[in-house]
Amino acid sequence: MKNQTRRTFLKSGSVLSASVLASSMMSIIPASASSPTDAAQKNAKVKERTLGTGKHSLRINHGMGLGCMGMSWNRSFVPDRNNSIAVIRKAYDMGVNFFDTAEAYGPHTNEVLVGEAIKSFRKNIILCSKFGFEIQNGKFIPGAFNSKPQHIREVVEASLKRLHTDHIDLLYQHRVDPAVPIEEVAGTVKDLIKEGKVLHFGLSEAGVENIRKAHAVQPLTALQTELSLMTRDPLGEIFSVCEELGIGFVPYSPLSRALLTGFINERKKYNPNNDNRPGLQRYQEAAIKANWGIIEFLTDFGNQRGLTPAQVSLAWLLSLKPWVVPIPGTTKLAHLQENLWSASIELTVEELSQINTFISNFKITGDRYATPQTR
């Protein structure tokens, strides 16, 4: 069978991509981005997943959302603005209803972009944003946190303006602030929910103790934390507490910042002014070479089934629990389609066993971040 890497997927889908691109660029005109097709909507709902429980729940089409960070920040090049708007609107046309951004992305510019893109269909989607980092004079301060109650309120008010909306459907604390008790943070978000400015609460990279404490004050809808075939730490205690409390799990970087696509190799060049990967051990030349065995495995596994490494990776994530909703990001229409097709893939027990056996015996080289993230 033909080698089905992401590059060959793009070549084989060139005709589809061209037609999708043409229709997407037309959708930059607001009137054409008003509603998904009936077929797309029906197909998306068949694969629907739920984050959270009861009145704190959200129903997610396709079982996955669209991470928008890379359209503005931390992925070397900044794509054409109109192209990014087209991708967001095409995602909606294809039934996606879960869009993720944050004040830190840019900072601020990603929320502005997303806000413009979703104007015509805002009421039909679930919009997620985040607070919790220190931003001074328009610059992101790495490792500096700020979840003081007044700051949370200021961030929400500013985000609402940038996003052209009167509420945020799911508001995450981007990282736990060790200087502010999590109960105080949860209480502030609870007040914002009472005021109608926020509808649901989530945490990102929180540990078990903080999850329990926050949930006791304001029930959590979702925990957003890095999870992929290369980063599986949450599969222990974190997954257990989420299942116990009825909290959904949203994996960010589900393709390990593009490593699991097979598109990044040891010759990859990054723009250090707009990419965090040069400072991460896992993305150094030696680590990429050491970890290449997982790409070879995924490629061989996918070739036998007509799947790309990215599709195998996302299908594996979706197999973990029905309350897992990954948010792969992309700036390319063909990759958007590729990722969404993953929601239709059902791996057999034998196939999952084959994948799990391989990854449990494969030692990943390089940490995902320079410092611990989960608190």
- Single out the catalytic residue among 92, 105, 172, 283: 105
Question: What CA–CA distance (Å, rounded) separates 283 from 305?
Answer: 28
* Distance (Å) of CA 158 to CA 133, 171, 250: 14, 13, 24
For 306, other C-beta atoms within 10 Å of its C-beta total 12
For residue 222, which phi and psi values (nearest 5 degrees)? -155, 155
105 classed as catalytic: yes
**Residue entry with tokens 């409390």:** 245
For residue 133, which phi and psi values (nearest 5 degrees)? -100, 160
Q: Name residue 252's beta-bridge partners.
A: 226
Pairing of strands 58-60, 49-51: antiparallel
The set of residues, in sequence order, having a beta carbon less than 8 Å from that of 372 and lying 6+ positions away, is none
Question: What CA–CA distance (Å, rounded) separates 66 from 330?
Answer: 8
Positions annotated as catalytic residues are 105
